[in-house]
A = this chain, B = another copy of it.
Amino acid sequence: MANAQKQNEQQESITARAANYGQWYLDVIRRADLADHSSVRGCMVIKPHGYAIWEKLQRELDDRFKATGHVNAYFPLFIPLSFLSKEEQHAAGFAKECAVVTHHRLVSKDGKVVVDPESQLEEPLIVRPTSETIIWAQYKNWIQSYRDLPILINQWANVVRWEMRTRLFLRTAEFLWQEGHTAHATEEEAREEVVRMLDVYADVAENVMAVPVIKGAKTPGERFAGAVDTLCIEGMMQDGKALQMGTSHYLGQNFAKAQDVQFLNSKGELEYVHATSWGVSTRLIGALIMTHSDDVGMILPPRLAPIHVVVVPIYKTEEEQKKTIAEAHTLAAELKSAGIVVKVDDREGIMPGAKFYEWEGKGVPLRIEIGPKDIEKNSLCLVRRFVIEKEGESEQDLRKRRKSFIPRAEGVTTVKSLLETMQSELLERARIMSRARTKVIDTLEDFEKFFTQENGGFAWVHWAGNSDGEDQMAKRFETSIRCLPFPDQIIPEARGEGKCILTGKPSKQRVVMAKAY
């Protein structure tokens, strides 16, 4: 009975995006069984389906890190408090909301476990919010001469930032991420590294996650604390808001100076090392959800789908059950040997419709239904999780276009090519969505109209203002400069010089302004 109740809960419909975007987001996560709130404030539990997606994403990233010459290592979870005082700007940015360890022992008292006041640490320890300080304290011992450079290290780790308002995947107190920390002999080499890793992130975003992004630089006010330059990739979510999906920082010699890391260059002179750091996190799963999902649930790009194809046998009689299940497993074996991950859903006591609903909610790209007639006709019924929507198309027409019948003999080849098609169509679908909410804007009036009456999105505007100007825009419109796009990222209609939308001063290029997560 409890189970029946649970099944019913799972079948509860998802709040429509149009009705309540925030609730829709949480409903998709619940329906796809990606994550849960935990008993610890602001910390989430990443459930198996969510973690499987993260593992696939990790593999894609890690392979690219290694292909670009990086190695993995692991540094301590804790940072001595004094380390944070070493790099002023960095400390100001990060030494705020942290988890602070002050004691190291518990004792039993009156049948309860309590903190032993005798066990206070001489120096409090911070749970890493990011690892620059602890890693550079180590690099100091590893670097003597230019021959020890570059150091190209990445770390997969958990970090903690004591966020007050949290949201599953997008902003949690503890989150999982990777942080690259590299050390270079010259500024030029370090800056090349920063661009290289941003390109890796953009490659994974577009070609693996199917999320189009704009590559660019942050304004001084939006830079990483302690960075000389912060590059970023920005994606547009379905509510028109921007999501910063990855950052890559040129840290200059700031951390090297803070930790006194000098090296002998080839001329025998002492120099400070140049640093970079770059990271992406489980936030990317939030980006996946908010870019692709619909009112039925999750939509996953095939390259990140833990299951590519679910096969559902359809039967009425016992004989049909035997036959269709046998055929389902035969087909699954064929698909598996072609490298496709298949799940045969032959659970008893669950109606096919409920199965369809469950797997669609989880974002499985393809469903194959196998009934007695399909076997008879030697054909397969394929249902895609999505197609690119046409304007004004009815729900019924859309459903029809998702379904196709193919000869049984072409099963494997069709599934393979269909998965590839869906991967590229998902990117195209996201591009269409993003383009529809992208506008070149030249006046504050149009800007206001865009963000109030037209639902907003990415506004390409000329900018020559300063931090004060950015604050003004933020107060008035809740927008921020997402980035100064690289020249090759500028859309054709936004190219050229012009006048700052706020100050009217001459501007060399447009920036992207948007509301953001």
**What's the nearest-Cβ distance from chain B to residue A338, in Å?**
20
Highest count of chain B CB atoms <10 Å: which of A5, A50, A145: A145
How many Å lie between the Cα of A39 and that of B99 in the bound state? 19
Contact A103 B105 (CB under 8 A): no
What does the 1/0 interface line of A73-93 toward B look like (CB < 8 Å)? Answer: 111111111111100000110
Q: Check if A436 is an interface residue, CB within 8 A of chain B.
A: no
Q: What is the 8 Å Cβ interface bit string for chain A, positions 48-90, against chain B (1 contact, 0 not)?
A: 1011101100000000000000011111111111111100000
B residues within 8 A CB of A54? 74
Task: Name the B residues within 8 Å of A50 (CB-CB).
Answer: 73
A433 within 8 A of B: no
A148 at interface, CB cutoff 8 A: yes
Give the one of A47, A71, A75, A162 with max B CB within 10 A: A75
Distance in Å: Cβ of A175 to nearest Cβ of chain B: 10
Tell whether, in the assembled complex, residue B83 and residue A39 are in contact, meaning their CB atoms are under 8 Å apart. Answer: yes
Q: Are A101 and B104 in contact (CB under 8 A)?
A: no
* A72/B98 in contact, CB under 8 A: no
Does the CB pair A104–B95 fall under 8 Å? Answer: no
- A126 within 8 Å of B by Cβ? yes
Stretch at the interface among A19-27, A136-144, A413-421: A136-144
Contact in complex: A96, B106 (CB < 8 Å): yes
Question: Closest CB of chain B to A387's CB: distance in Å?
Answer: 30
Return chain B residues, CB-CB under 8 Å to A102: 100-103, 115
- Interchain CB contact (< 8 A) of A162 among B38, B105, B108: B105
Q: Are A71 and B84 in contact (CB under 8 A)?
A: no
> Could you tell me the distance in whole angstroms from the C-beta of A103 to the nearest C-beta in chain B?
4
Could you tell me if B96 and A105 are in contact, using CB atoms closer than 8 angstroms?
yes
Verify if A18 is at the interface (C-beta below 8 Å from B): no
Q: Min CB distance, A355 to chain B, in Å?
A: 15
- Judge whether A153 is part of the interface by a CB distance below 8 angstroms: yes
Closest CB in chain B relative to A492 CB, distance in Å: 43
Give the chain B neighbours of A99 by CB distance below 8 A.
78, 101, 104, 125
Given contacts A71-B51, A76-B38, contact A84 B106 (CB under 8 A): yes
CB distance from A161 to the nearest CB of B (A): 10
The complex places the Cα of A100 from the Cα of B50 at a distance, in Å, of 29
With a cutoff of 8 Å between Cβ atoms, the chain B residues found around residue A125 in the complex are 40, 99
Instruction: Given A36-B141, A48-B71, A99-B101, check contact A91 B113 (CB 8 Å).
Output: yes
Task: Report yes or no: B77 in contact with A174, Cβ–Cβ below 8 A.
Answer: yes
- A113 x B100 contact (CB < 8 A): no
Contacts of A106 in B (CB 8 A): 81, 84, 95-96, 98, 100, 126
Residues of B within 8 Å of A157, CB to CB, are 158
Residue of B nearest to A92 (CB): B108
Cβ of A490 within 8 Å of any chain B Cβ, yes or no, is no
Secondary structure dominating the interface of A: mixed
Bound CA–CA A226/B111 (angstroms): 17
Inter-chain contact B46/A74, CB cutoff 8 Å: yes
What 1/0 flags go to A114-126 for Cβ under 8 Å of B?
A: 1100010000111
Interface string of A11-36 (1 = CB under 8 A from B): 00000000000000000000000001
Q: A195: CB under 8 A from chain B? A: no
Please report the C-alpha to C-alpha distance between residue A86 and residue B134 in the assembled complex, in whole angstroms.
35
- Contacts A40-B76, A174-B78 given; does A85 touch B113 at CB 8 Å: yes
Residues of B contacting A263 with CB < 8 Å? 2
Q: Is A176 an interface residue (CB 8 A)?
A: yes
CB distance from A270 to the nearest CB of B (A): 10
Partner of A72, one of B51, B101, B103: B51
- 1/0 per residue, CB under 8 A from B, across A348-379: the answer is 00000000000000000000000000000000
Is A476 on the interface with B (CB-CB < 8 A)?
Answer: no
A84's closest neighbor in chain B, by CB?
B113
Tell me if A79 and B40 are in contact (CB < 8 A).
yes
Given contacts A104-B99, A160-B77, contact A52 B71 (CB under 8 A): yes
Residues of B within 8 A of A162 (CB): 104-105
Provide the bound-state CA to CA distance between A99 and B121, in Å: 10
Residue A97, interface by CB 8 Å = yes
- Cα distance, A108 to B97, chains bound together (Å): 12
CA distance A402 to B3 in the complex (A): 64
**One of B48, B76, B105 near A97 (C-beta < 8 A):** B105
Complex CA distance for A91 and B109, rounded to whole angstroms: 12
Of residues 143 through 183 on chain A, the ones whose CB sits less than 8 Å from some CB of chain B are: 144-145, 147-148, 153, 157-158, 160, 162, 174, 176
16 chain-A/chain-B pairs, Cβ below 8 angstroms: A2-B264, A3-B264, A36-B138, A38-B134, A39-B137, A40-B80, A40-B134, A45-B73, A45-B74, A45-B75, A76-B174, A84-B113, A85-B113, A101-B127, A103-B124, A105-B162
4 shortest interchain CB distances as A-B pairs: A2-B144, A43-B76, A48-B71, A3-B145
